[in-house]
Amino acid sequence: KRYPAKILSCEEIRCQGYSEPNAGSDLASLQTRAVKDGDHYVVNGQKVWTSFAHVADWMMLLARTDPSVPKHKGITYFLLDMKSPGVSVKPLRHLTGEAEFNEVFFDNVRVPESQALGGVNNGWAVGLTTLMYERLTLGFGLQMRLRITFDRLLDLARRMQKGGRPVTQDPVLRQKLAQLWIDSECLKYTGARGITKLLRGEMPGPEASTGKMVWVDAHQRLQELAVELEGPYGQLAKGSRWAVDGGVWQHSFLRSRANSIEGGTTEIQKNIIAERLLGLPKD
């Protein structure tokens, strides 16, 4: 009861300690170790691409607690206090100049055994459940953001001209806009199906990957189209006095390139859909 209340009230921020330098898409190969010491575990290792670790209060940490068993079975899911001695965070600056992602290092960090969520060596199942909920809820929220951004794109299109004519008279452009609207509608109903499952008390399943994958493709195409509409002005960075709409489209275009990597790469989403939804042979 203590943790959900703080999450819902936004009194505490959480980050995910999943990916490592040599364990990204193959997450089960993670090497961060947690060794039992009395009623605590001592954690040593490194995480990377951890969103908002520099402002987080807690980390949902996957660490290897038993290296003698198959890789999926020796992982534990810890709730780690980011203020614990031995935790250090190094921000990673990306294309837009912002530092949203981070490296996190653990040097003999002590975590109470009572903060092992789901039990010791059962972290893989807990971690996958977390990811499925993330993809489901993100997919629903991001669909609404996509529709808002699409409306802004329509406004941009109505203001831009090409060859002395409004670009909205271009049938190719109109088709691209229509396809984005269709994608947005598909995402809306995909998200609604997922939320309905939650309201019924059901667990989210692998179908959550479809929403994430479709959103990534639609969002990246939307940002590409916005920069295309701006023509040469699309090269101007955010804050430039000559940039259209203050350069927000160029900034969003650069940021969107990470969409197909973060939260599970598009390739991984395709594998999940192929294997778990379509029943195709494993990759």
- Which of residues 120, 151, 183 is at a domain's end? 120
The CATH number covering residue 58 comes to 2.40.110.10
Residue 85: both structure tokens together: 């001695």
Among candidate residues 113, 134, 228, 262, the one labeled active-site is 134
SS3 for the chain is CHHHHHHHCCCCCEEEECCECCECCCHHHCCCEEEEECCEEEEEEEEECCCCCCCCCEEEEEEECCCCCCCCCCEEEEEEECCCCCEEEEEECCCCCCCCEEEEEEEEEEEEHHHEECCCCCHHHHHHHHHHHHHHHHHHHHHHHHHHHHHHHHHHHHHCEECCEEHHHCHHHHHHHHHHHHHHHHHHHHHHHHHHHHHCCCCCCCCHHHHHHHHHHHHHHHHHHHHHHHHHHHHCCCCCCCCHHHHHHHHHHHHHHHHHCCCCCHHHHHHHHHHHHCCCCCC
Total domains in the chain come to: 2
Strands 87-92 and 101-112, sheet pairing = antiparallel
Structure confidence by residue, pLDDT tens digits, 27-50:
999 999 999 999 999 999 999 999
- Which of residues 85, 120, 155 is at a domain's end? 120
Asked if 275 is an active-site residue, the reply is no
Residue 20 inside a domain? The answer is: yes
Structure confidence by residue, pLDDT tens digits, 59-92:
999 999 999 999 999 999 999 999 999 999 999 9
The CATH number covering residue 135 comes to 1.20.140.10
Answer yes or no: pTM beyond 0.75. yes
What's the average model confidence in pLDDT over 171-178? 94
Residues 115 and 130 in one domain: no
Give the model's pLDDT for residue 105.
99
Residues 134 and 222 in one domain: yes
Give the model's pLDDT for residue 211.
85
- Which of residues 86, 102, 120 is at a domain's end? 120
- Find the domain containing 13 and state its range: 2-120
Residues 139 and 263 in one domain: yes
